[in-house]
Amino acid sequence: MPDHPPSPVPRDVDFELRPGGYEIRFSGRIADGHPDLVDQCADWLDDEVGAVNLGQIDHEVLLADGILSEQLRQDIVGWWRARVEDLDLG
């Protein structure tokens, strides 16, 4: 469990670096409206992408160790774009 509450997410899918890894944060629209897709995204990251030590706090935040490359960001955003219309990605 994080030491502090998550900050508001400015986009539907957002990223935050943390010591040793990164977080993928989802807006309420995604977390509340598409929790099944958050679970599928976690499975995809674990199985297909090979995310290291992937953890899921809830449907608002996924945690992973390692480096969040620009390519990985693009792949994650592309995964969501293929499944949800009109994403707010900033």
As a whole number, the mean pLDDT across the chain is 89
- The answer to whether residue 23 is domain-embedded is yes
Structurally, the chain folds into a number of domains equal to 1
Q: What is the mean pLDDT of residues 27-35?
A: 94
Q: Band the pLDDT of 90: cuts 50, 70, 90.
A: low
Q: What is the mean pLDDT of residues 37-52?
A: 93
Half-sphere exposure of 12 (CA within 13 A, CB side): 21
d(CA 14, CA 47): 21
- The answer to whether residue 90 is domain-embedded is no
Q: What is the pLDDT of residue 1?
A: 41
- The answer to whether residue 89 is domain-embedded is no
- The answer to whether residue 75 is domain-embedded is yes
The DSSP bridge partners found for residue 64 are: 22
Q: What is the mean pLDDT of residues 60-72?
A: 95
What pTM was computed for the model?
0.85
Q: Which residue range(s) make up the domain with 35?
A: 13-81
d(CA 1, CA 9): 18
- The answer to whether residue 3 is domain-embedded is no
- The answer to whether residue 56 is domain-embedded is yes
- The answer to whether residue 66 is domain-embedded is yes
Number of H helices and E strands in the chain, helices first, is 3, 4
Q: What is the pLDDT of residue 8?
A: 61
- The answer to whether residue 58 is domain-embedded is yes
